[in-house]
Structure 1
Amino acid sequence: MLWQRARPLLGTLVSIYVRTPEVTSLVDADVRVAMEAAFDVIAHIGRVMSAHHPESDLARLSRATPASNLTLDPHTVAVLTCAQHWQRVSGGAFDPSTAAVRLLQKGWRPGLSMTTPSSGVGLQALRVLSATSVRVDHALCLDLGGIAKGYAVDQAVAVLTQHGITSALVNAGGDMRAIGPHVWRLDVRHADRSVRDRQMCGLRGLCHAAVATSVAGVNNPEFVASIASMRRSTAWQSATVQAHDCLTADVLTKWALQSSRVCPSLTTNLRKHGARMWRSL
């Protein structure tokens, strides 16, 4: 049996599909509870890491006083830790700081506050103290849109698994992850095109994996938010990455859009995470 629910979350439409075998110990109520719990964790992550809400963790970081300790939601600290890792291994290609300042200056991130000239220097000004606390050298403007959506999908999958769901697909506006033996049909579409991208050879279905796509363009705020450093112009129009988890797939697309045709460090990290990449010009 196939179950399907959808909710507007994370600035997009999030859909959850659950498949249950004909013979199962799960009843209808169990599946509904599992899906509601998965939506709840996505909504929670969206709230605490919002760059639009003045009471979110990101808003509090943007108003932090110098050399202060902040207690944050565990999900926020987990994503900040991952963001620091990917900023480091990508050589700054992934940087949620510079993008946040630019978007704030355009008025696109009303929840953030640029309280000091040093806002936006980077994640090197933040030190993780524990699963719920960080220390910052100064106020930080951050936009985690390039990594938080993939993380939210992974957390939703974890919640479904905890509730006994073994076959499901979570789709957050193109960032998606599948568990279970079922092969979910997959069509990758560009945001500005109405036809399927025919260059995605070998990517027709999703099974026990995650996939994310990022599209370049001046009218794509998510691209501007996620591709922060902008140290070089790129001719890539889109990047799609398949990986074991959605956070990894999500962040690798942002790196892939900026890199050259031959980027040893990107290739190394794709191999390290068992990921595949498709890019179009």
Structure 2
Amino acid sequence: MAVVSDSIRRARPLLGTFVEIEVAAAGRSEMEAAIDAAFDAVAEVHRLMSFHEPDSDVSRLNQDACIRPTRVDPRTFQVLETAAELYRLSGGVFDVTIAPALQAMGLLPRLGGDPVLSRNARFADAIELLPEHMVHFRSAGVTIDLGGIAKGFAVDRAVDALRGLGIASGMVNAGGDLRIFGEPRTVHVRDPRDPNRSICRIDVADDALASTALRFDLFDGVRSGSSAVIDPSTRRPAGSTDGVTVRAPSCMIADALTKVVMISASDAGGLLEHYKASALLIGTGGDVQITSDWHHAVHLAA
């Protein structure tokens, strides 16, 4: 008879952050095997879609896709298809071709010289998604970063791995990208102006959450005053909102929508509705806005 443990929690450095996986309500050996499989799924997404790994699909595309159509893994192609859909539905607000702006800010490494900050290199004009998982960049100035959307996809893949091995309840957390299934949980969201303080708690059940906010110095807690979310129309950091948390059915969509809401604020309502998502926005003055369908699950701190 399998020995049943209440829960197991493990963490590993992946995707440029620490990935934490917790599972419950199964035999210990089954939970250990499921956690290993989930970490393997995350590591595979890292291998395929990391901007930093020289042999990743993303690095090969950035190097070769402007010269010739380049074949990528079906999973990378799936993320690119989702990015293309989000670009179209957001009116270009979500755009993975903003990598040169992130390089110019020092948030991504400069590979082979100064980044090309061409405003003409937008997804719709710059990237062709072709049959048989082939990708072509129409000019040499195109550089992509799948970053957050790939991290959200990795969380979803980890959850699929856990469920596929019979785990009925668990959580996967990758540095602000979180997905919970089975037993409901309460998640505390930190105040983007003071990360030592919780601004609210959110009841979560079979949903994904993603958050983004202004950058802080991890050592002295000083806010940098800018966001790592780039507005594609200006190629500059978004500045109208201090922080955003989005709830969605998948972590890939939740992560992508945090970027759109960070830039567009309340104008993103139609896109949130399309993806059956909800949002919490913290304005620069500390005011909190919550979409009307989410008030019952969000409890603001006193």
**By the TM > 0.5 criterion, same fold?**
yes
Q: Is the 8 A contact 2:14 2:43 kept in 1?
A: yes
Residues 49-60 of structure 1: matches in 2 within 5 Å?
49-60=49-60
Give the aligned residue type for 1:109: L
Q: Report what 1:250 is aligned to.
A: 255
Q: Report what 1:238 is aligned to.
A: 243
Residues 113-262 of structure 1: matches in 2 within 5 Å?
113=112, 121-124=121-124, 125-130=126-131, 132-139=133-140, 140-180=142-182, 182-190=183-191, 192-197=194-199, 200=200, 203-217=201-215, 223-224=227-228, 226-229=229-232, 231=234, 234-261=239-266
1:11 equivalent among 16, 21, 42:
16
Please list the CA deviations of residues 227-264 of structure 1 after superposition, one character each: whole Å capped at 9, or x if unmatched.
34153853210011111111111111111111144x1x
More relative contact order in 1 or in 2 (CA 8 Å, sep 6+)?
Answer: 1
- Structure 1 Cα separation of the partners of residues 115 and 240 of structure 2: 34
Q: Is the 8 A contact 1:57 1:76 kept in 2?
A: yes
Q: Report what 1:69 is aligned to.
A: 69
Classify 1:112/1:141 alpha carbon distance in 2 versus 1 (closer, same or farther; 3 Å).
farther
- Structure 2 Cα separation of the partners of residues 153 and 131 of structure 1: 25
Report the Cα offset of residue 76 of structure 1.
1.3
Give the aligned residue type for 2:109: P
Q: Report what 1:94 is aligned to.
A: 94
Q: Report what 2:41 is aligned to.
A: 41
Please list the CA deviations of residues 148-174 of structure 1 after superposition, one character each: whole Å capped at 9, or x if unmatched.
111111111111111111111111112
Q: Taking every aligned residue pair, what percent have the same amino acid on both sides?
A: 35
Q: Report what 2:7 is aligned to.
A: 2
- Structure 2 Cα separation of the partners of residues 106 and 16 of structure 1: 32
Please list the CA deviations of residues 58-100 of structure 1 after superposition, one character each: whole Å capped at 9, or x if unmatched.
11111125451211122211111111111111112111212x1
Structure 2, unmatched stretches of 5+, are: 1-5, 218-223, 284-302
Q: Is the 8 A contact 2:66 2:136 kept in 1?
A: no
Residues 25-40 of structure 1: matches in 2 within 5 Å?
26-40=26-40
Q: Is the 8 A contact 1:54 1:112 kept in 2?
A: no
TM-score, length basis structure 2:
0.79
TM-score, length basis structure 1:
0.84
Structure 1, unmatched stretches of 5+, are: 21-25
Residues 80-91 of structure 1: matches in 2 within 5 Å?
80-91=80-91
Structure (1/2) with the larger strand percentage? 2
CA RMSD of aligned residues (A): 2.7
Aligned to 1:68, what secondary structure does the other structure show?
A: coil
Q: Is the 8 A contact 1:185 1:204 kept in 2?
A: yes
Report the Cα offset of residue 14 of structure 1.
0.8
How many residue pairs get matched? 266
